[in-house]
Chains A and B, each alone.
Chain A
Amino acid sequence: MFETSISHNDVPILRIDGKIIGGAANALKREMDKQIEQGRGGLVLDMARVPLLDSSALGIIIATLQFLKKMNAKLVLLNPQHTVLDVLQVTRLNTILEVYSDEESATSAFGS
């Protein structure tokens, strides 16, 4: 359910396929940690194929976001579906998570 690519300006993009519920949240954490260890200054989560995430997934995204912030790095979301956007809006996480609708702007958000 995970697939990673590196953009032309060296930003890792993690494509997620499927619901992030239950145990999948831990798998997501391991995948994100793997990318963060590479030290590329941040991570793009491609959410286009994620129909749903639960509160465990939210918790892990928040924890990763906070961790990256401390390292002066970024976590941005690419193309979340409206169901996921609704969750971000209700929880107000949309005010601190950058959300982009195309890969070019998502990766250029890293400014390099």
Chain B
Amino acid sequence: MSETILAVDDDIDILELIQMSLEAEGFDVITANDGMSGLEKARTHSPDLILLDLMMPVMDGFEVIGKLKADEQTRAIPVIMLTARAQTHERVQGLHAGADDYVTKPFDLDELTARIEAVLGRTLPTKYINPLISTMGDWFTEEGVEQLASHLEAAAMIQQNLIPKQAPNVPGFDIAGFLRSSMTVSGDFYDFIPLDNNRLGIAIADVRGKGIPAALLMVMIRTILRLICREETSPAAALKRINDLLAIDTDPDLFATMVYGILDSAAKTFTYSSAGHCYPLHLKNGGTEVDELKEGGMLLGTFGHAVFESETIPLAPGDELLLYTDGVTEAERKSDETFYGEERLAAILESNSHQPAETFCQTIETALFDFSGTDHRDDDVTIVVIKATDGKE
């Protein structure tokens, strides 16, 4: 995701210059040529940074900063002032008012870019924390940030401990799981739950949003699943119970998608149901064909009346199941705004069927890196691979 810069200046030529040069640096740029519309656009576009001319008619830059900092919604957006070279006391006044940095006019474009990048580097971490403001309310103060960081770290630890440390040993199958979160506390999880001698519960889920709210919902879902999975014989029934419990308690815009399946190592079958989750892929027929597993129902947590269906598929030796979250298929190549996509994933599944499950997880991770050209992910990446082996190791 490229950062959005809002440039506010009454000089249209300067605005155009800023827009052209910053877009060339890969930023999204929106412009406003007076203080009033600058404020309005700060509210509607939630930019990552504001470049603000101090000397403007009607509403000057100081008034704009004052209003930005008084508004909950825009308070955290960093501001770089554009000032005339001579006005030292104005720069000081601006910094006191809450600006993060200044650049003097006429400015050097390289310097401007460097300042923007420095300020964004400083402020992006708090941008990630901002979604928490609504949950934590008055907790969020300047002094609270440090405390919050330690809480986040603790939460991340708890969450990491909930992810299986190693894949289960199931005769005739080779299983692996992989999770790489895009930030400290994430919304994805996967789980392996032994149900009896032959049956293993396998779950993968993606909770909407990020940070603590997503992590809390993730913990709820995982806990409910673990409590009920031995009582409910079908994955559809398990998902329905999770959904009905969540739908009572959670806000309608908080939801999760999930696949829950039961691997039966004696019957060599996988019975699954998908709650609005991206379709698992099934490599079959000696590695020549890839099926999407579509059976299931609505995403979890919003609609109390949702119905779910299960499906059982046979797993022949050489078959492979790939469960994943959309962080995989939506890994983005910024240069042409293309997503990795399901087709590429299906192709890599077909061409790497010889690899052990754990190696294959790494192969996907490497492919995402090669595709996007970066290590940065906007979303968590979670993968579960289940391979039916021929029983001989």
Give A contacts to B, CB under 8 Å: 21-24, 26-27, 30, 55-56, 58-60, 62-63, 66-67, 90-93, 95-96
Interface centre among B252, B254, B255, by most chain A C-beta atoms within 10 angstroms, is B252
Q: How far is the CB of A91 from chain B (nearest CB, A)?
A: 4
* Closest chain A CB from B337 CB (angstroms): 9
Q: What is the predominant secondary structure among interface residues of chain A facing chain B? A: helix
How far does the alpha carbon of A72 sit from the alpha carbon of B46 in the complex, in Å? 32
Are the CB atoms of A59 and B276 closer together than 8 Å?
no
Chain B residues near A93 (CB-CB < 8 A): 276, 298-299
Closest to A92 in B: B298
Using Cβ atoms and an 8 Å threshold, which residues of chain B touch A62?
Answer: 252-253, 255, 302
Residues of A within 8 A of B299 (CB): 91-93
In the assembled complex, which residues on chain B have CB atoms less than 8 Å from the CB atom of A92? 276, 296-299
- The residue in chain B whose Cβ has the minimal distance to the Cβ of A90 is B278
Bound Cα distance from A21 to B276, whole angstroms: 19
- In the complex, the chain A residue whose C-beta lies closest to that of B73 is A26
Q: Given A23-B46, A66-B302, A92-B298, A59 and B1 touching (CB < 8 A)?
A: no
Contact residues of B between 276 and 298, Cβ < 8 Å to A: 276-279, 296-298
A59-B254, A67-B252 provided; 5 other pairs, C-beta below 8 A?
A: A55-B206, A55-B208, A59-B252, A62-B255, A92-B296
Q: What is the predominant secondary structure among interface residues of chain B facing chain A?
A: loop
**A56 to B253, alpha carbons, bound, how many Å?**
8
The minimal Cβ–Cβ distance linking B31 to chain A, given in whole angstroms, is 15
CB-defined contacts of A23 to chain B, threshold 8 Å: 4, 45-46
User: Size of chain B's interface in residues, with CB distance under 8 A?
Assistant: 24
CB proximity of B54 to chain A, nearest CB, Å:
25
Q: Which residue of A lies closest to B187 (CB)?
A: A55
Assess the A90–B46 pair: CB atoms within 8 A: no
Bound-complex Cα distance A21 to B303 (A) = 23
B184 to chain A, nearest CB (A): 19
Which one of B4, B206, B255, B297 lies within 8 Å of A59 (CB-CB)? B255
- Expressed in whole angstroms, the minimum distance between the Cβ of A45 and any Cβ of chain B is 16
Q: Tell me which residues across on chain A come within 8 A of B277, comparing CB atoms.
A: 90
Shortest C-beta distance, A66 to chain B (Å), equals 4
List 22 A-B residue pairs with CB atoms under 8 Å apart, sorted by A's residue number.
A23-B45, A26-B46, A30-B44, A55-B206, A56-B208, A58-B208, A58-B255, A59-B208, A59-B209, A59-B253, A62-B302, A63-B253, A66-B252, A90-B278, A90-B279, A91-B276, A91-B299, A92-B297, A92-B298, A93-B276, A96-B298, A96-B303
Q: Which residues of B contact A63 (CB under 8 A)?
A: 251-253
Residues of A within 8 A of B254 (CB): 59
Is A95 touching B298 in the complex (CB atoms < 8 A)?
Answer: yes
Contacts of B181 in A (CB 8 A): none
Most chain-B CB neighbours within 10 Å: which of A22, A23, A26, A59?
Answer: A59
Please give me the 4 A-B residue pairs with the lowest Cβ-Cβ distance, nearest first.
Answer: A23-B46, A59-B253, A91-B276, A63-B253
With CB as the reference atom, state the residue of chain B lying closest to A21. Answer: B1
Cα A90 to Cα B259 with chains together (Å): 12
B382 at the interface (CB under 8 A from A): no
CB distance from B159 to the nearest CB of A (A): 19
- Chain B residues with CB under 8 A of A66: 252, 302
* Max count, chain B CB within 10 A of own CB: residue among A22, A55, A58, A66: A55
